[in-house]
Structure 1
Amino acid sequence: MPSPHPESLVHDQPSRSLTLLLATTCALAVATVYFAQPLLGAMAASLGISQAHVGLVVGSTQAGYAVGLLLIVPLGDLFDRKRLILCQLLLSMLALLTVGMAWDWAVLLAAMGVVGLMAVVVQVMVAHAATLASPTRQGQVVGAVTSGVVLGILLARLVAGGMADLAGWRSVYLGAAGLVMVMALLLWRTLPGAPPGERRQGYRALLGSLIGLYRYDRLLRQRGLLALLIFAAFSVLWSTMVLPLSAAPLALSHTQVGLFGLAGIAGALAAARAGRMADRGLGERTTGLALAVLTLSWLPSALLGQSLLALALGVLMLDFAVQAVHVTNQSLLLAGRGEMASRLVGAYMCCYSIGSGLGAVAATWLHARWGWMAVCGLGASISALAWGYWLYLRIVEGRCGMAAGAAMPGGDQNL
């Protein structure tokens, strides 16, 4: 008897090996967005660009990423996600090769924009993994794949700095292009196609429905606002932490600063665990606990001037909390809604992108004027606001539940 086609085994998918492959590919894809941060000085020297303008490399990448969230991620609800993923990976490979061989400033900026544009393949893979998993494993699978995203963000700076020290900044992008090609080949061989869904609407209607999600989907609005706040807090820490660490009296090297990212690996572990908790119906409890940890994480972080160990503890707590809420948000949003998973992920990640940008701008402005303690005060305020918003939602939903129960015959006896 012939073996069934992989696409007929949707409810047994994804296997542990396929989940690991998706997580690894996500780690590589998201790392391409963050490689440039420790390499800006080397890029400026290589291309003869002033330090004042080299920041456009990061800006171009982030702009491409934002455009991709709006225009590319929703395509996963219109076309076969496997084909979309493979196309994005191949275009990403070409863009990375162009960056690695660019000798002109304009070419570099354009290629970095495409790198960011194609990096949204991460969100398409998260949506695809969620639709492949059975309902009882969906949160676990989303958490495992998101763990790869966390590791990619945390390790990108360290790996890029190490490779640049050994073989120059161009080697980072040329090596990444080769790895992306390998990942594309492996996924072509092993990744099942998308389950059949509703794909009759056109692209313009699809984008219109994406905007409509914010208006009509209450859960998206709630979880999107939480995402905006937690990633604003995340960006407050990571966008400014390098400033006091690299300045006197600490004067740490870029490699030493990058080592703090290793403390954030706990966030990857939290991501997988949070997905399992959501599968068990404990998503709200996980969210509340994680937001409390996020708020408290700023206490040890504020002791940066006295203890690097305290800062490492603060980083660990913050990454643990942010990733736990992030995975829980996605698990709750995608549960039972596989036909619109790409649009939901795209709309949700737009909130993440806005929060990250606002947090970075506000934190660097505060640090320039009032120093690290002001930054920690901002981060703690944003985190406390997120926690307070969650508590408010729980109180409102509790009152609505009591009102509904009282309206039923027998009142509380039917709750």
Structure 2
Amino acid sequence: MPLVTVMAVACGLAVANIYYAQPLLDLLTRQFGIGSGTASLIVTVTQIGYAAGLVFLVPLGDQVNRRRLITWTAAGTGAALAAAMISPGFGWFVAASFFIGVTATCAQIMVPMAAHLAEDGQRGAVVGRVMSGLLIGILLARAFSGIVADIAGWRAVFGIGALTMFVLAAVLYRALPEEASAAARMSYPQTLRSVAALLRDEPTLRRRIVYGGCGFAGFTIVWTALPFLLARAPYHYGETAIGLFSLLGAAGALGANAAGRLHDAGYGRRAVAGFMLAAIASFAGMGLFSTHVVAIVLGLFFMDLGVQGVQILNQSTIYALRPEARSRITTAYIGCFFIAGAIGSALAGVSFELAGWPGTMAVAGLLEAAALAFWATER
């Protein structure tokens, strides 16, 4: 379990790097003398880099020594963050952001490694613990970035991040075990092509992509539209107060750790439905009682609990399909997951503009309800 804890913390620190720039966009517009539309390219390019890492880097976890791959990738993140810290201009910063996204995928190499190292009866709990660390890193990154930037400036955010990743690379090199790769005899092109073959040949993988994708689309809808709700009447919250709402998501991610234990106990299928119902109830509550902050607080907690619980159950299930292909399964699953999140972000803006917060929550709830209806067809 100490190794699992190290991997959970490492996953959180690694994936947090792609979110540091988001609260700083207004500050960066002033620093580089650009418009808000141009500044949004930072987030877009970082996400493109992350997608590229999922496609071209993560599958190597089934082909090469994972310990070395993770260590070098973490060090690469440190170098990219250092480049962002010393950026003399916007173009340099955008290029650094791309490589931050690419190398931050070392978190998605560690998750299947943790599943591989776990014993069969503990795999769900191990995946749950590591994924909880990853999810907490995502949720707390924005708050960390905003606080540090207020105190020491935006360059300090990336400087601290770079130092942290270099230290983390050294820790992981000492902590992670040497591990032979099951697909070492495959060529790199064959490894990439086999990802599509997994999607074609594994119906359980496709089904779990639907479960997770619908939930994550709803998740991104809420977090994308939430600042618009909280900045207006009756709340009129500032940016710092809005950022602190991410702590509620972190609490939900901690609770979702129990999902892995339910999987290990043999209750995985029923638990999926339970977590989906929790998410649906949260969307309904936040939509119906949008002027009550208690309803928003409870809704965010149970939404995160539900969505992340399904995510952990999904990964515990799909990693048992083909033990020799867990990194490529991660690419297939998280890649589709990533697409669903992008669709959710786009839907959030349109639905909030057309139907306000209640209509936006209705869209999120319908997506989760569709996943639940599809779950009912599972044998």
TM-score with structure 1 setting the length: 0.89
Q: Secondary structure at the match of 1:302?
A: helix
Contact 2:50 2:103 in 1 (8 A): yes
Could you tell me which residue of structure 2 aligns to residue 99 of structure 1?
A: 84
Q: Kindly indicate whether residue 178 of structure 2 is the aligned counterpart of residue 155 of structure 1.
A: no
> Could you tell me how far 1:303 is from its partner in structure 2?
4.6
For residues 337 and 216 of structure 1, the distance between their equivalents in structure 2, rounded to whole angstroms, comes to 11
CA distance in 1 between counterparts of 2:121 and 2:318 reads 15
Q: What residue number does 1:333 align with?
A: 318
Q: Give the structure 2 partner of residue 342 of structure 1.
A: 327
Shift of 1:366: 1.6
Partner residue of 1:317 out of 298, 302, 305? 302
**Root mean square deviation, CA, Å:** 1.2
- Tell whether 2:277 aligns with 1:292: yes
Choose the corresponding residue for 1:222, options 163, 183, 207: 207
Offset from partner CA, 1:238-294 (integer Å, 9 cap, x none)? 111111212344221111011111111232223321111111221101101001111
State the AA in 2 paired with 1:47: F
Aligned counterpart for 1:176 among listed residues 161, 166, 175 = 161
- Counterpart amino acid of residue 300 in structure 1: G
Equivalent pair of 2:221/2:344 in contact (CA under 8 Å): yes
Structure 2 CA distance for aligned equivalents of residues 239 and 306 of structure 1 = 18
Matching residue of 1:408: none
In the alignment, residue 46 of structure 2 is paired with which amino acid?
T
Structure 2 match to 1:76 = 61
Whole-angstrom distance in 1 between the partners of 2:322 and 2:196? 17
How many Å apart are 1:368 and its aligned residue? 2.0
Of 344, 363, 366, the residue aligned with 2:348 is 363
Aligned to 2:245, the other structure's residue is in SS state: helix
CA deviation map 1:5-44 (0-9, x unaligned): xxxxxxxxxxx22111111111111111111111100111
For residues 40 and 304 of structure 1, do their structure 2 counterparts lie closer, same or farther at Cα, with a shift above 3 Å needed?
Answer: farther
Please say which structure displays the higher CA radius of gyration.
Answer: 1
**1:236 Cα offset (Å):** 0.6
User: What letter corresponds to residue 213 of structure 2 in structure 1?
Assistant: L
Q: 1:197: how far off?
A: 1.9
Corresponding position: 1:136 with 2:121: yes
Structure 1 position 116, deviation (Å): 0.6
CA offset digits 1:140-180 (Å, max 9, x no partner): 11110001111111111111111111011111111011111
CA offsets per residue over residues 86-124 of structure 1, 9 Å max, x none? 111111000000111112111111110111111111110
Instruction: Tell me which of 101, 107, 111 is aligned to 1:126.
Output: 111
Instruction: Write out per-residue CA displacement over residues 294-341 of structure 1, whole angstroms, 9 at most, x where no aligned residue.
Output: 111112212564211110111001000011100000001112633111
CA distance in 2: counterparts of 1:120 and 1:372, whole angstroms: 33
Tell whether 2:197 aligns with 1:212: yes
1:63 corresponds to which of 35, 42, 48: 48
| Distance in 2 (alpha carbons) for counterparts of 1:124 and 1:185 | 17
Aligned partner of 1:385 in structure 2 is 370
* Aligned partners of 1:131 and 1:194 also within 8 Å: no
Structure 1 residue corresponding to 2:216, chosen from 225, 231, 238: 231
Residue 185 of structure 1 aligns with an amino acid whose one-letter code is A
Deviations 1:368-407 (A, max 9, x none): 23211111111111111111111122xxx2xxxxxxxxxx
Q: Which amino acid aligns with 2:368?
A: S
8 Å Cα contact 1:240-1:364 kept in structure 2: yes
Q: Which amino acid aligns with 1:376?
A: M
Residues of 2 paired with 1:52 and 1:71: CA distance?
29
1:200 aligns with 2:185: yes
**Which blocks of at least 5 consecutive residues in structure 1 are unaligned?**
1-15, 398-415
Query: Percent identity among equivalent residues?
Result: 36
Give the Cα–Cα distance (whole angstroms) in 1 for the partners of residues 322 and 135 of structure 2: 24
Q: Which runs of 5+ in 2 are unaligned?
A: none
Tell me if the contact between 2:62 and 2:181 (Cα under 8 Å) persists in the aligned partners: no
| Distance in 1 separating the partners of 2:285 and 2:164 | 38
Distance between the aligned counterparts of 2:48 and 2:250, measured in 1? 27
1:198: Cα distance to partner? Answer: 3.2
> Which one is further off, 216-225 or 297-306?
297-306
8 A Cα contact 2:234 2:291, kept in partner: no
Closer/same/farther in 2, CA of residues 248 and 48 from structure 1, 3 Å limit: farther
Deviation, structure 1 residue 79: 0.3
Of 253-262 and 365-374, more deviation after overlay is shown by 365-374
Residues 227 and 351, structure 1, Cα contact 8 Å, conserved in 2 = no
The 4+ residue runs of structure 1 with deviation greater than 3 A are: none
Secondary structure, counterpart of 1:193 in structure 2: coil
Matching residue of 1:37: 22
User: In structure 2, how many angstroms separate the alpha carbons of the residues matched to 1:208 and 1:196?
Assistant: 17
2: CA distance between counterparts of 1:363 and 1:299? 16
Corresponding residue number in structure 1 for 2:38: 53
Q: 1:229 to 1:336 in 2, by over 3 A?
A: closer
Aligned to 2:358: 373
Alignment: residue pair count: 379
